[in-house]
Structure 1
Amino acid sequence: MTLYTTTVVTPRRGAERARRFFESAGFALGLPILLLAIWGVWGTAAPAQFFPSPIVIAQAFVDTWIGPAFVEDVLPSLWRLGLGIVLAIVVGVALGTVIGLVRWLRELSEPVLEFFRAVPPPVLIPVVTLLFGPFDTGKVILIVAGSIWPILLNTIDGIRSVDSVMTETGRSYSLTATERLRYLLLPAASPRIMAGIRQALSVALILMVISEMFNSSSGFGYRIQYFQRNYLIPEMWSGIVLLGLIGVVLAVLFGFAERRVLRWYHGLKEVERA
C-alpha cells in the first residue's frame, strides 16, 4: 500500500514542480523578450546613432567582453565587489549586533549613524582617494562605506525586535551569552539582516562602477566611460548589458542563499497561510 501511494504521488508532485518552474521562467523571460523584440523592430525601422539594435549590441558584446577585456577589467571589478560585500556583511552584522544589544550605546550612536547614512557615498571619493590613493584598497573601502548602512541598520532593528519572552526563556534554560546569540538572537533577526543585505548588493554594484570611473586605468566603470568618451556606442551599451547581467546573477545567488538561511522562516509563513 505504501509503495503504491509513493508511485502515484511522486509523479504528480514532479509534474506540479515542473509546471511551476516553466510558469516562473515564462513570466521572468516574457517581458525581456518582448522588450528586445520591440527594440529590434524600432532600431531597424528608425536606426539611431546612440540606440543601436540588439543585434549590433550583441555582436559588440561578444567582440568586447569575450576575451582579454573580461580578465583585465571584469574579473578585478568582481573581486573588489565581492570583497567589499563580504566586509560590509561582517562589519555590519557584528557592529549592528553590539549596538542592538547595548541600549546606551544605541542611544549614543544613533545621531552619528543617521548623519553618516545621509552622506551620499560618491562624495567620499575625493577623501578616499587622498587617504588611500587610486588603488584597490580605496575602491573596496568606498564599496564598504556605502553598502554597510542597510546591513547595519537592519541588524540593529532585528536585534531590538527580538521578543523579550524568547530572551527570558533562553536565560531560564541557562543558555550562555554565546549560545543565546547564536541560537536565538541572530536567527530571530536574520530576516531583517537578509533584507539589509539585499539592499546592500545593489548599492555595492553601483559603487563598484562609480569608484572605477575616477582615477582608474582599468575596471568595469573605466571601460564603460572609455567607450562613452570615444563614441563607441555599441560597446558602451554592451558594458551596460553585462552590468545588468551581473546584477541578475547576484540576485539569483542571493535568492538561493536566502532560501537556505531563512528556510525556517519561509516554513512558518507557509504554515500560517495554511
Structure 2
Amino acid sequence: MTLTSSIPTRTRTARRQRRGRTPRGLLIGAEILVPILLLAVWWLASTNSTNTFFPPLQRILERLVQLAQTSMFWANVGLSVGNLLLSFVLASAIGVLLGAALGLIRPLAWFVEPTVHFFRAIPPVALVPIFVSLIGFGNETRILSITLAALFPVLISTMDGIRGAEPTLDMVGRVYRLSRWDRLVSVVLPAASPRILSGMQVSLMTAFVVMIASEMLGSSTGLGSMTLLAQQSFAITDMWAGILTLGVLGYATTALFVLFRRRVLRWYIASQQQEKQS
C-alpha cells in the first residue's frame, strides 16, 4: 500500500472512532441526571406512604436539614471522615512500600505472598469483631480495622504493577546508571502507577464499608453508630437521614479520588488515546 492510499484509510478510521466515541458532556450529564431521576421516583413513590419503615422522602430531607443544624451531627461526620482518611492514607503508604518490596525482591515474595493471599481472602468486615475482642472498643480499634482491610488491594495492585512493568524501562535506567532507588522512584513506580491507583480506588471503597461496620459494632460515635442507634430506637426518619448522608459521603469521596486519579494519570490517559487513534 502506498502512502497516498493509506492516508484516506487512516482518515476514515479516525472518523469512525470519533463517531463511536460518546461525548464527554453527555456522560457527565447522565451521571448527574440519573441520581436526580432516582430521587424523583423515590419522592413520588413515597409521597402518600403511611408505612412506618418507609416514610416520605420529603420528611426524610426535612429531618436531615434539622440534623445538619446540630453540632452532634457534624461531630459524627468529622469523626467518620477523619477515620476514613487516616486509615486510607496509612493503608496506601504501607501497601505501596510492601508491594514494592514484594514486587522487586522475589525470594521475599515466595515467603510472604501466601500469607498475604490468605488474609486477603478473609472478608474485611469479619476482621472487625476480632480486633474488638482483642483490643477493645476504642477509636484505635476502628482505625486499625479499616487500615488492615484497605491494605490488601493497594499491596497486591502495587506488586502486580511492578512485576508487569516493561523490562525495557529498567534496562534504560541501568544504561543511564541510575541507582536502585532512583530507578524505583523515577521509572518503576510511575510505570506501575495506573495499577496502583486502581488498587487505591478499590481500597477506598473497602475502607468506607469497614468504617461503617466498625462504627456499628460497639461504638456510640460516627455516622454508622448514629444510623444504627436510630434504627434500634425506632427513629426511622433519622435512620433514613443517616443512610442518605452515608450515600452522599461515599459518592463524594469516590468522585474526588477519581478526579485525583485522572489528574495524576493525565500522561497515561493521553498515551492511551493516542494509541487508539493510531
- TM-score normalised by the chain length of structure 1: 0.89
- Aligned mate of 1:233, from 217, 233, 236: 236
Write the distance in 2 (CA, Å) between the matches of 1:269 and 1:22.
20
Of 133, 137, 142, the residue aligned with 1:134 is 137
- The whole-number CA distance in structure 1 between the counterparts of 2:150 and 2:64 is 29
* Cα distance between partner residues in 2 of 1:196 and 1:222: 28
Q: Aligned ranges for residues 1-274 of structure 1 at < 5 Å?
A: 23-274=26-277
> How far, CA to CA, are the matches of 1:22 and 1:242 in structure 2?
27
Q: Aligned to 1:212, what secondary structure does the other structure show?
A: helix
Structure 1 unaligned residues grouped into runs of 5+: 1-19
Once residues 155 and 55 of structure 1 are traced to their aligned partners in structure 2, the CA distance between those partners, rounded to angstroms, is 46
Equivalent AA in structure 2 for residue 240 of structure 1: I
Moved more, 102-111 or 65-74: 65-74
Aligned residue identity for 1:205: F
Deviation, structure 1 residue 253: 1.2
Cα distance in structure 2, aligned partners of 1:156 and 1:187: 13
Give the superposition deviation at 1:191: 0.4
- When the two structures are superposed, what TM-score results if normalisation uses the length of structure 2? 0.87
For residues 91 and 144 of structure 2, what CA distance do their matches in structure 1 show? 9
**Deviation string for 1:152-195 (max 9, x for gaps)?**
00000001001112111110110111110111100000000000
For 1:32 and 1:162, locate their aligned partners in 2 and report how far apart those are by CA, in whole Å. Answer: 39
Q: 5+ unaligned residues in a row in structure 2: which ranges?
A: 1-22
- For 2:124, the aligned partner's letter is P
Amino acid at match of 1:150: P
AA in 2 matched with 1:85: F
**RMSD in angstroms over aligned alpha carbons?**
1.5
* Partners of 2:125 and 2:31 in 1: CA distance: 32
> What residue identity is the alignment partner of 1:31?
V
**Aligned equivalent of 1:17:** none
Give the whole-Å Cα distance in 1 for the aligned partners of 2:145 and 2:228.
19
What is the aligned length? 255
Which amino acid counterpart does residue 229 of structure 1 have in structure 2?
Answer: Q
1:102 Cα shift? 0.6
1:130 is displaced (CA, Å) by 3.4
Counterpart of 1:135 in structure 2: which amino acid? G
CA offset at residue 259 of structure 1?
Answer: 1.5
Residue 10 of structure 2 is matched in structure 1 by: none
CA-to-aligned-CA distance 1:175-233 (integer Å, 9 cap, x gap): 11111011110000000000001101111011111111112121111100000001111
- Pair 1:160–1:25, CA change in 2 (3 A): closer
Shift of 1:70: 2.7
Residue in 2 that maps onto 1:5:
none
Amino acid at match of 2:201: R
The structural deviation recorded for 1:69 is 2.2
Name the CA distance, whole Å, in 1 between partners of 2:274 and 2:162: 24
Q: CA deviation at 1:22?
A: 5.1
CA separation in 2, counterparts of 1:187 and 1:206?
Answer: 29
